[in-house]
Amino acid sequence: MPESLSALPMDPVRFPDLLGDFYRRFTINVLPVCESTSALLLERAEQGAPSGTVVVAARQTAGRGSRGRSWAAYPGKSLAFSVLWHFQPGLERLAGLSLAAGVAVARALRLRGAQRVSLKWPNDILIDNAKLGGILIDLQEEPDYAFAVIGVGINLSIPGDTDFSGFSLPPAGLDSLLSPLPDVQSLLASLLIGLVNTLDIFSVQGFAPLRDEWRAMNAWQDRPVRLLRGDIVEKEGICRGADNDGALLVQTKKGIERCFSGDLSLRAL
């Protein structure tokens, strides 16, 4: 068996059946190891890789998370992949994409039976108040189109020898909700189908038609929250969801304020 398939148990022959009518929308590359699926896919995007190109790796040695943090992926413990998607020109059209991708991932996981999966603005996937995974979006514009590399990382289980100190949320594994776990290839297929269905909507209408679904899965909807910039508290108030551009809505003493991600960190009070 090729090294890539032994490191991450995926058989290319199964993808047509698992993806059905969506199979032709994707070009899937399975790797045993890479530094970062998103970094590699960005390189391929700049070389003209088509929309729907997917890179999935059994192990990432330099995966990236939000605000410059690392995101490790371990064979058998994680599912880490990135998807390239083309859009009409104009990066402003892609406001709210990380929230839309979160809806796609959470919906797909719930359909697999993980009903307690929820979302945290702008890019975290939670089980209760623990972090199951995350989404990282890289955007770039070419003369005739814009493209996004959508990186997704899911903890299948928690590696026992990993130091998670310093993280704002404890880690969670999908195995705490699903036992036995679905095989990783069928799980990847479910997530890709969820993404293509959501991205087809987002490409035409933006985040607006997905906003209510995101709100329903927002872990901290109508709860007190704090927004931090580094260690400095920038805002406190009640989380009221997100607007059509994906900005967080926080009800403060000044009224409803819009907050954009940047280097802000959202915490529950």
194-230 pLDDT tens trace: 999 999 999 999 999 999 999 999 999 999 999 988 8
How many Å apart are CA 261 and CA 248, to the nearest integer?
8
What CA–CA distance (Å, rounded) separates 87 from 195?
14
Is 50 exceeded by the pLDDT of residue 6?
A: no
Question: Mean pLDDT across the stretch 141-153?
Answer: 95
**What secondary structure letter does DSSP report for 230?**
T
Residue 187, phi then psi, degrees to nearest 5: -65, -45
The pair of structure tokens assigned to 62 is 């330099």
pLDDT recorded at residue 219: 95
Q: Where do the structural domains in the chain lie, given as residue ranges?
A: 3-216, 220-268
Q: How far apart are CA 152 and CA 141, in angstroms?
A: 21
pLDDT 10s digits, 99-108: 999 999 999 9
Do 3-216 and 220-268 fold alike per CATH?
no
Percentage of the residues of the chain whose pLDDT score is greater than 70: 88
Q: What pLDDT score does 72 carry? A: 59
Q: Is the pLDDT of residue 96 over 50?
A: yes
Q: Which of 15, 47, 46 lies closest to 29 in space, CA to CA? A: 15
Please write the tens of the pLDDT for every residue from 115-135. 999 999 999 999 998 999 999
3-state percent breakdown (helix, strand, coil) of the chain, nearest 5: 30, 35, 35
SS3 150: strand
Q: Is the pLDDT of residue 73 over 70?
A: no
Residue 54 CA to residue 58 CA, distance in Å, equals: 13
Query: For residues 120 and 172, what is the distance between their CA atoms, to the nearest angstrom?
Result: 14
Model pTM score: 0.91
In CATH, the number for domain 3-216 is: 3.30.930.10
Supply the mean pLDDT for the chain.
89
**Do residues 216 and 222 lie in contact, with contact meaning Cβ atoms separated by under 8 Å?**
no
Fold of 220-268: SH3 type barrels. (2.30.30)
Rounded mean pLDDT of 70-74? 58
What the block records as the tokens of 11 is: 């058989």
**Pairing verdict, β 27-34 and 53-60:** parallel
Helix 97-111 and helix 184-205, axial crossing angle in degrees, nearest 10 = 140
Torsion angle in degrees (nearest 10) through CA of 118, 180, 63, 231: 40
